[in-house]
Chain A
Amino acid sequence: MGSLNAEHQLFQQNPVTWSWEQVYLCSSRILEIIAFDELKTDYKNPIDQCNTLNPTVEKVKKIKRVKIALKLVLPEYLIHAFFCVMFLCAAEWLTLGLNMPLLAYHIWRYMSRPVMSGPGLYDPTTIMNADILAYCQKEGWCKLAFYLLSFFYYLYGMIYVLVSS
């Protein structure tokens, strides 16, 4: 658990932020899963849905619903990338190694997104395609599992370091 020592230093800097961000990742995933489920069960219009999930640069017109931080995708990617950079700085090779595949996936995913002028990932015209919807849902669940596991792993690391110091 050598890596945990280094992590210790990091967490000591601002442990609250760390767990906060991890919680954000998990919750954003949950929200995204819920969003796709809403879509599948006919609850929401795909244009609205994609507007919620994609960050829109221009003014979002009529969407009164939850303008809160539901622009999920990009913040998630950025936070995860930020994690990776911090792990790199802290020379947390094991943790970094665990996160690299997801980082690579995120980059690939964003590169192969549909043609779009603004940032975003989901295209309202194709999202209702059963294959794509199923894929997005599955992706959501897998990521949720990954974030949850890593959350507990980081928590464990933090407590371990706190206890051992």
Chain B
Amino acid sequence: MAQPARPPAGYSSQNGAGQQPYSNGPVQNQLMHSSDGQGYSPSVPGSYSHQTLVKVPPHQSSGQYNYSGSQNVSQLNNYQGPGQTFNRPPVAPFSGSPVQQPGPVPQVLLPALQNSAAVSSAGNFPPGASPPVLSNWQYSQTPVSQPVGSQTSRLAHVAGTGSAQPPSSLSGNTNPPGSYRYAASPGGPPLQNSFMKPGSAPPPVTQPLTPLHPPARPPLGPPPVGGPPLIRPSTLIAGPPNTQSLLNSAANRDGDATSAASDGSVVQNSYDAIEGGGLMATPHPSSAPPNPKMNRSVGYSYPTLPPGYQNTSPGAPGMQGSALQYPDGSKHFHQPALGTNHLTASMSSLSLQQEGLRPVNLLQERNILPTTLLKAPVPNLHEDIQKLNCNPELFRCTLTNIPQTQALLNKAKLPLGLLLHPFKDLSQLPVVTSSTIVRCRSCRTYINPFVSFLDQRRWKCNLCYRVNDVPEEFMYNPVTRVYGEPHKRPEVQNATIEFMAPSEYMLRPPQPPVYLFVFDVSHNAIETGYLNTVCQTLLDNLDLLPGNTRTKIGFITFDSTIHFYSLQEGLSQPQMLIVSDIEDVFIPMPENLLVNLNENKELIQDLLKTLPQMFTKSLETQSALGPALQAAFKLMSPTGGRISVFQTQLPSVGMGALKSREEPNQRASAKDIHLTPSTDFYKKLALDCSGQQVAVDLFLLSGQYSDLASLGCISRYSAGSVYYYQSYHHNHNPVQVEKLQKELKRYLTRKIGFEAVMRIRCTKGLSIHTFHGNFFVRSTDLLSLPNVNPDAGYAVQMSVEESLTDMQVVSFQSALLYTSSKGERRIRVHTMCLPVVTTLSDVYLGADVQAITGLLANMAVDRSVSATLSDARDALVNAVIDSLSAYRSSVLSIQQPGLMAPYSLRLFPLYVLALLKQKAFQTGTNTRLDERIFTMCQVKNQPLVYLMLMTHPSLYRVDNLTDEGALNINDRTIPQPPILQLSVEKLSRDGAYLMDAGSVMFLWIGKNCGQSFISQVLGVPNYGSIPQNMTHLPELETAESIRTIAFISWLREQRPFFPILYIIKDDSPLKSSFLQNMIEDRTESALSYYEFLLHIQQQVNK
């Protein structure tokens, strides 16, 4: 929906961008102007540190400004735009970067010098602008013809100082203060409020350039200030000292805007016009005479720079490039060609390959499980490229060596696919604000680190191989503040990047965050007591809900009728409205049911406090979930947002009523279990929701069968998430209460993206086969995600449609376009690059066993829904058998006895066995249907890391933790015990073991466990006195306790949900679930690992 196909816009937007900035030129001027009143020197240091990081040498800023002046004015906008974003504190991704690229002094001086020339003459070209600009110089009254002289003199001056003197001398110049002043102008914050973060707390950093964007951004709606007219007041604030000049400049801007509209396109197209004097020549013939001179002088001044400058960076030639030099300079501009690199890389990693190729006899090598968590394999790329590649936690491929043809892929019998975690919380994420987002003109790929620059002005798309032009504003690098280094831009240096999207990426103004809570208040629900917990947690986190001043919130409760709550301003207490007509639901007074959170906070708090008590006497046992959801949908559809539904039983009346389908006696027969929904009501409603940008998250807290298979559809197709708390009860099951509290807290406070779409692009020849996860597939490569949350993972099956001959590498790119809770439209782009191989052994070499397991699990869920569970189980086993027999017959030259597996796949049988024993796929009578379906939902929706933990938990011995090899994080020592195999044989009666199964942890205490551990960690005198339902470790002052708690909390911190810790003894009821996870052992209905291997060997050797 959102990424409008805009083939024409590709260029027109470029033009548009050219125009806006153009019109902005005078703003800058005027700000320079206003600085007059305050004097330069005092404002320089203080204001400067405001805008840029302290580490940045001051001259850079001056360089920035000047620079933009020299390019036609259009540069200015785009350069500073990104620069400004980098400096933003919450993001601060480039805190180190200016230092990393310590642009040698001369390098920065150069633009300054070039600019000082240009700026002075720039005074000539916009007809309206000239007087104020000139007045800003020392020689303020200089006539039009004059600048030439002053210019040259300036050049001489700067060139002279440039090599000899440090930048500080430069900052004493006339023009830099302009930029300082500009940066520090108090006009920043109000403006920012109006466009960027409506109503948010005053940003600590000024974003002076925001005003430059207004034409591109429509007003965002509610914020009281918005839209272009605002610029003026804010600029007025900016320059109180000098009203005269302000008026001037205001007039200027107008004048300039029009001039930009009329001739902007003429001016900005050609490089010559920009770099050389052409720009000045075009609009203002009268200033023509100076130009040749200036050109010469500019060209002349370069060689006088210290030689060191020329060598500093490959961008240098480009920088020098005046119109004449340019073609030469461009030739230096190649990015390292991927192909050759790849070759050298494979040569250098030859030894590594040997290790990887070593076949492993699984029957003989018992200890193949690594003692640390398995890392993703590193693609066999040149290290320069690999270092730019996407983090495997975000984007991972099952085969890090992509087979060249589908035939080769079929031969390998391994699934090809991607596993994504696109919206993961990241501590470091570069954010780019730029009026044009550079994309391929034909396939709309975002520019990324793996494109190749043919020369300075053209880049070749790495997905469709089209050659595109580099837009003018992309030539400037906001990080190093150097012109002519498009390949050093953050977009080209980071595989994961976020863009602030301009208005072309919006179909409507960004929606406000809207949260609607729907509570089941039937007798059954009240009985569980969940409402207390939820309301209390919500009350505690009301201020932490992601959002801004526009945040809206609403509540609905239902039993056999639907209750709305009017939170109208002026009411002394919330007003309940009951709708008992559930056949044809209507919304009473729609305007007061969803209210602004900040303006009505007291009323909302009131409601949350009274809500749990309101229904305590309710005897209504029916549940009208379907009508309540319809009502919620109707309420939300004008805006979109998030509906959180809390349900405790099978819906029994109205639309969407369900019947119990579970028959406990038939659980064993895998044939007749109901994994498919019994009605399509929830699916259809979810699709309607998806169309209106509404997502539904389902919290199911139920002791009885509630048909999650049908109910889950509401979340699945609207990109929500499902939480399931089996047998929730506030008294009988306190563990679940804590789990709900913690998970609800995370749920309420985590980041959220609204009205999102995600598109996945891949190199021509590859195509997307199937998607897995919670979403609605809108077209072959586009997912519609009404909400996106940081805990959701996605999987994609791929196929090789055309053979990838002549390709050394292929790339995948996922682009997630969403509206943040602050009302900004953003695009998060991840790009991954992988090598292509032609031989089967290479394919096996690059197999990523965890990703393969994750993808297979997703496919198996689909299979068990579309066919049967036993089909899915067979398919999983066959996947192992097929791949290992293919390996045996096609790769191994010598037929050895035993079960040979490539080194990369040595854990494959183990993981598949673990999948077979997982709740989702296991046979036997001890899994309840809802639990099974919930696990299937998790398989589909969890990121790979957590899925792997859930499938194959980690087992640690914790009674003898030492500091050996421990991690040190923030002065905490975190012991790192080795991971043990999941077999009872590894458990000893005199130890204590921690099993980390992702969402749950078990601490098993052996019968003869050391007394010291029991007393010093558990805080009880002896084994017998360990309480039955212990779920907390006391914080004791002993070294053992500190170590154990440090380790457990470290494990917990790494994931967004809260794993409950169960402490179990031999006679605990939970012992069976602990032993269930002992994957290598035999259980009543499943094979042991060794038996499984024997079975596979038998099949492989057939």
Contacts and interface: CB of A to CB of B under 8 A. Distances in A.
Interface residues of A, number: 17
A128 B769 CA distance: 9
B199 interface: no
A115 B684 CA distance: 11
A124 B687 contact: yes
A130 B799 contact: yes
A131 B770 contact: yes
Contacts of B778: 45-46, 128
Interface in B657-695: 676-681, 683-684, 687, 691
A9 B647 CA distance: 64
B780 A115 contact: no
Contacts of A129: 769-770, 777
Contact of B679 (A42, A117, A128, A130): A117
B40 interface: no
Interface residues of B, number: 25
A130 B679 CA distance: 24
A125 interface: yes
Contacts of A47: 687, 691
A87 B776 CA distance: 44
A69 interface: no
Q: Which of A39, A117, A123 has the most CB of B within 10 A?
A: A117
Contacts of A114: 680
Interface string B798-811: 01000000000000
Interface string B589-623: 00000000000000000000000000000000000
B770 A125 contact: no
Contact of B684 (A46, A117, A128): A117
Nearest to B767: A130
B687 A115 contact: no
A134 B676 CA distance: 23
B677 A115 contact: yes
B453 interface: no
A42 B780 contact: yes
Given A115-B677, A117-B680, A128 B691 contact: no
Contacts of B687: 47, 124-125
Given A47-B687, A125-B717, A115 B678 contact: yes
A116 interface: yes
A164 B781 CA distance: 58
A128 B779 contact: yes
A143 interface: no
Contacts of A106: none
B1020 interface: no
B680 A115 contact: yes
Interface in A1-50: 39-40, 42, 45-47
B683 A125 contact: yes
Interface in B250-280: none
A129 B768 CA distance: 9
Nearest to A45: B778
Contact of A130 (B680, B768, B776, B779): B768
Contacts of A124: 687, 776
Given A47-B687, A47-B691, A128 B680 contact: no
A124 B717 CA distance: 10
A39 B691 CA distance: 17
Contacts of A42: 779-782
Contacts of B676: 115
Contacts of A125: 683, 687, 717, 776-777
A124 B680 CA distance: 11
Nearest to A130: B769
A114 B684 CA distance: 13
Contacts of B680: 114-117, 123
A114 B797 CA distance: 22
Nearest to A62: B691
B681 to A, nearest CB: 7
Nearest to B799: A130
Interface in A40-69: 40, 42, 45-47
Interface string B761-786: 00000011111000011111110000
Interface in A87-118: 114-117
A39 B781 CA distance: 11
Contacts of A117: 679-681, 684
Nearest to A133: B780
Nearest to A50: B687
Contacts of A46: 777-779
A47 B681 CA distance: 15
A160 to B, nearest CB: 47
Contacts of A123: 680, 683
A40 B769 CA distance: 11
Nearest to A58: B684
B680 to A, nearest CB: 5
Contact of A128 (B683, B717, B780, B799): B780
A130 to B, nearest CB: 4
Interface in B81-108: none
Interface of B: 676-681, 683-684, 687, 691, 717, 767-771, 776-782, 797, 799
19 contacts: A39-B779, A40-B780, A42-B781, A46-B778, A47-B691, A115-B677, A117-B679, A117-B681, A124-B776, A125-B687, A125-B776, A128-B777, A128-B778, A128-B779, A129-B769, A129-B770, A130-B770, A130-B780, A131-B769
Given A130-B770, A131-B770, 4 more contacts: A39-B779, A42-B781, A115-B677, A130-B769
Query: Which 6 residue pairs of A and B lie closest in terms of their CB atoms, listed nearest first?
Result: A128-B777, A130-B769, A42-B779, A129-B770, A116-B680, A115-B680
